[in-house]
């Protein structure tokens, strides 16, 4: 009698893994904007959300970093970060604390629909400008057209709030913080590209720096009553949820799934996939946060999405594949 071969029932093809990774990445990046805005409007300050994010990420990444340093016999900072203090601090300031505090601060003043345009939507523009300055990159004519679309889209959204700055409104403050956060992350992206930092190690370095500098400082401020915090009044379920989503989901899981997405689809098609994030996050803000969608937001979203897609599709010879950490990281 012949043997009956039992196949592996849960084996997935590389294509299936790539598609699942793309779906998870876009879902997390889209949810980040909506959930961060909801948290800022409810029971947590931007500093509280950053605190929860760092604790959640540290629980996974600090032991991982300790293991990598010992396995590869690296001379890392404090035996946890894979890199020395200088590189850890640069990554931690631009890719960690700076980006997180500016982005979370923006959600206090401006709606998530604005963040959808000014955070993920403006990153290609600012990253290109910073790369031109520090790396002497020269974008192609086609890419310049795409960046021009992004610039006009950003001006339609951010420029409108700036015009009302003297009317007593505060939305412009959030828009400025969103743009500052995007600029901060663009410096980190160029840093990653310049030094070819792998995604996991760079993310561990970011988390290590934030855990050593921000967590003890903010803890002392909380215990002494100096921090303007709402953690004491926030439900434990909401705090734990933000630790899991902002820390484990946005930092750890999306970093891994983005890596898998790039491995399967390549950097060019992956960037086209992430062009869905501004539109989907704006739609989520309208559906779940009841935010209005004005004509300038619709036009800005359309131009930003068009600019990202056009700039990528028109690239005939993309540069060497960027490391996943150089892309958007909520």
pLDDT at 314: 57
Percent of the chain as helix, strand, coil, to the nearest 5: 75, 0, 25
DSSP 328: -
Split at pLDDT 50, 70, 90, the class of 323 is very low
Instruction: Please check whether residue 222 lies inside any domain of the structure.
Output: yes
Instruction: Please check whether residue 89 lies inside any domain of the structure.
Output: yes
pLDDT at 180: 95
Q: Which of 38-52, 108-122, 128-142, 265-279 has the lowest mean pLDDT?
A: 265-279
Instruction: Pick the more confident residue, 137 or 219.
Output: 219
Count structural domains, the chain: 1
- Residue 329's contacts (CB-CB under 8 Å, 6 or more residues apart) are 95, 99, 185, 203, 250, 251, 254, 255
Instruction: Please check whether residue 264 lies inside any domain of the structure.
Output: yes
Torsion sign over Cα 299, 300, 301, 303: positive
Instruction: Please check whether residue 2 lies inside any domain of the structure.
Output: no
128-166 per-residue burial string, b: 16 or more CB within 10 A, e: under 16: bbbbeeeeebebeeebeebbebbbbbbebbbebbeeeee
Q: Which of 135-149, 163-177, 316-330 has the lowest mean pLDDT?
A: 316-330
Instruction: Please check whether residue 253 lies inside any domain of the structure.
Output: yes
> Stretch 136-155: mean pLDDT, rounded?
85
Calculate the average pLDDT of the chain: 85
Residue 136 belongs to domain spanning: 15-326
d(CA 67, CA 73): 10
Instruction: Please check whether residue 3 lies inside any domain of the structure.
Output: no
Instruction: Please check whether residue 7 lies inside any domain of the structure.
Output: no
> Stretch 286-290: mean pLDDT, rounded?
91
Tokens standing for residue 82: 């894979």
| Residue closest to 97 by CA, chosen among 227, 206, 179, 183 | 206
d(CA 300, CA 304): 6
Q: Which of 24-28, 48-52, 223-227, 287-291 has the lowest mean pLDDT?
A: 223-227
Split at pLDDT 50, 70, 90, the class of 140 is confident
Instruction: Please check whether residue 1 lies inside any domain of the structure.
Output: no
Name the one residue in this structure whose structure tokens are 């959204």. Answer: 157
CB 122 within 8 A of CB 154: yes
Instruction: Pick the more confident residue, 325 or 61.
Output: 61
pLDDT at 167: 67
């Amino acid at each position: 009698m012949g043997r009956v071969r039992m196949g592996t029932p849960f084996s997935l093809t590389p294509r299936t893994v790539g598609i699942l990774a793309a779906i998870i990445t876009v879902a997390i990046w889209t949810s980040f904007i909506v959930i961060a805005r909801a948290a800022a409007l409810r029971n947590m300050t931007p500093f509280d959300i950053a605190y929860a994010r760092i604790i959640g990420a540290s629980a996974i990444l600090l032991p991982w970093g300790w293991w990598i340093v010992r396995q590869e016999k690296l001379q890392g900072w404090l035996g946890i970060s894979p890199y020395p203090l200088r590189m850890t601090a640069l990554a931690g300031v631009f890719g960690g604390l700076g980006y997180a505090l500016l982005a979370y601060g923006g959600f206090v003043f401006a709606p998530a629909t604005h963040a959808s345009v000014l955070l993920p939507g403006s990153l290609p523009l600012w990253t290109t400008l910073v790369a031109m300055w520090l790396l002497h990159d020269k974008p192609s004519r086609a890419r310049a057209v795409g960046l021009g679309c992004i610039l006009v889209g950003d001006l339609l959204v951010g420029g409108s709030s700036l015009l009302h700055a003297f009317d007593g409104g505060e939305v412009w403050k959030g828009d400025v913080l969103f743009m500052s956060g995007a600029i901060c992350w663009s410096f980190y992206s160029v840093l990653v590209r310049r030094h070819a930092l792998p995604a996991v190690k760079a993310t561990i370095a970011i988390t290590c720096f934030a855990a050593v500098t921000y967590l003890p400082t903010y803890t002392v401020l909380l215990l002494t009553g100096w921090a303007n915090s709402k953690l004491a009044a926030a439900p434990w379920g909401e705090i734990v949820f933000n630790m899991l989503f902002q820390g484990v989901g946005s930092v750890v899981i999306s970093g891994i799934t983005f890596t898998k997405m790039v491995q399967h689809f390549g950097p060019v098609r992956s960037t086209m996939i992430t062009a869905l994030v501004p539109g989907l996050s704006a739609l989520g803000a309208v559906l779940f946060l009841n935010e209005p969608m004005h004509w300038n937001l619709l036009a800005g979203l359309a131009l930003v999405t068009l600019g990202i897609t056009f700039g990528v599709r028109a690239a005939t010879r993309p540069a060497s594949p960027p490391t996943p950490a150089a892309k958007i990281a909520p």
